[in-house]
Amino acid sequence: MSSIFIQIPSYRDFELNKTIASAVNNASGENKLHFGIHQCLFFDSEIVINKFYPDWVTMDCANSIAPNNIGLQKSRYIANEFYNNEDYYFQIDAHMRFVKNWDLKAIKMINNFINFGIKKPLMTAYPCSYWYADDGVSEIESDYYTTRILFVQNTQQFTKTLIPLNTAYPVDAYCAYTYSVSGGCIFTFGSFAQIKPNQKIAFWGEEPLIAARAFTHGFDLVVPPEKLVSHLYAGGQRVKMIRRYHVWEDFSSIWDQMEAVSKIEYKSIFTERRIGDDALGAVRTLEEYEQFAGLDFRTGQIHQSKWAE
């Protein structure tokens, strides 16, 4: 029996219990699941996590009263601290739905990548969506298209901020690399927990930073060839439809300050090419990631458009 650590950050998210239930109810029961959760709330009992699950499921959760510990990477850091030497690591969001036997499928895919000669595969992609119709019924997108992340849109954003815009592009269903990560869908080995989230990163830039850090720590970014999860995207919907709040709306003045600090930290890592516990790894260089991903953090140029053809 293998073990899977599931890392979840949550900010006043009323989908959280349904996400956990979907993960458990759709798991095979052949692997141990350990949830590491951090949630920010307005008051301690605003969202109470159901902990009545089978004995192959363990649950650890830390609660913070906002604005204490707000910020996505801070929340992921706290959740990550619950990691307990599990074999595999699944980083997700608090608003997800899982396919049947997702755990067996994910582990099989990892093993297939290893058989292809990829020693440390990190599977990541933007999941397809589920949503709530006007009558409140949850609906799930039936089609699944394998996609990889490219940086071919709004290249001026990278020039100004060094934060490239992640865009999902369809790819054939074979062994394929991707050039960034979806923060809400990362499945890999448990050793990923050693790359502890940088607590200064509030939100903007989280995904390209995770990608560069994972790559320079020796992970290979690949596309999962099969569907594992669906995601509830906000899409400008009302709170009663997406069942969660946004911290930047609840604490706008604090959030603006945090984002300013976050952007300074992000830029510092890439311009100074920092290696360390909260920055890049030493297995590969940032130059190697730049060559792989088509990014140049010195000039702010992207060399990747031909890969979208």
DSSP state letter for 239: H
pLDDT digits 0-9 by tens, 276-287: 999 999 999 999
CATH number for 182 = 3.90.550.10
Contact, 151 vs 295, CB < 8 A?
yes
Q: Structural domain tally of the chain?
A: 1
Distance CA 60, CA 81 (A): 10
Contact, 196 vs 209, CB < 8 A?
no
- Could you list the residue range(s) of the whole structural domain that residue 239 is in? 3-308
pLDDT at 237 over 70: no
CA nearest to 67, candidates 94, 37, 41, 38: 41
pLDDT digits 0-9 by tens, 248-298: 999 999 999 999 999 999 999 999 999 999 999 999 999 999 999 999 999
Give the Cβ contact number of residue 268 at 10 Å.
13
Contact, 228 vs 146, CB < 8 A?
no
Q: Coil, helix or strand for 122?
A: strand
